[in-house]
Structure formats: C-alpha cells, structure tokens
Amino acid sequence: MITFFAQAPALPLHAAGKYVAGAYIVFILMLIVYVGIMARRLHTNQREIQELKLLLEQRERQELAAQQPVPDSEQVA
C-alpha cells in the first residue's frame, strides 16, 4: 500500500480541485442522507417490534394466570 501511494501521482488541487471535490461530495452526501433515512426507518421498525414483543409477553402472562387453578376454599380451611 505504501509503495502504491509512493508511486501515485500528486493530485493537482488548484482550480479544478473544487469541481472534482464538489462532484464527489454531492455523491457522498446523497449516500449519507439515504443511509440516514434507512436508519430512521430501521429504528421505527425496531420500536414497533419491541412494542409487539411486550404485548405478546403481557398476553402470555395473562393466559398463564388464567390457566392456574384457583385454590379451593374448603382445602384452605
């Protein structure tokens, strides 16, 4: 890698540099914005799945409680 960069031509960043940088920055910015939107969507999805998971657990607890036999009053006495 070091040899590669040592042999690489120096980049002439005078007048043309700002245009080349501009073109590549536009591309990278678009990529970043897109990834940001995707991350937001992923976050919403994860929150919704978490919500569903909690609801499922709550329902399972309620079902379990309903299945357990109620202690007989005579036996208790």
The verdict on 27 binding another protein (CB under 8 A) reads yes
- Binding pattern for the stretch 29-68 against another protein, x by CB under 8 A and - elsewhere: -xx--x---x--xx--x--xx--x--xx--x---------
The verdict on 11 binding another protein (CB under 8 A) reads yes
Between the alpha carbon of residue 15 and those of residues 5, 20, 21, 22, the distances in Å are 23, 10, 11, 12
| CB hemisphere CA count around 39 (13 angstroms) | 6
Residues in contact with 13: Cβ distance below 8 Å, sequence separation at least 6, in sequence order: 21
Residues near another protein (CB under 8 A) are 4-5, 8-9, 11-13, 16-17, 19-20, 22-24, 26-27, 30-31, 34, 38, 41-42, 45, 48-49, 52, 55-56, 59
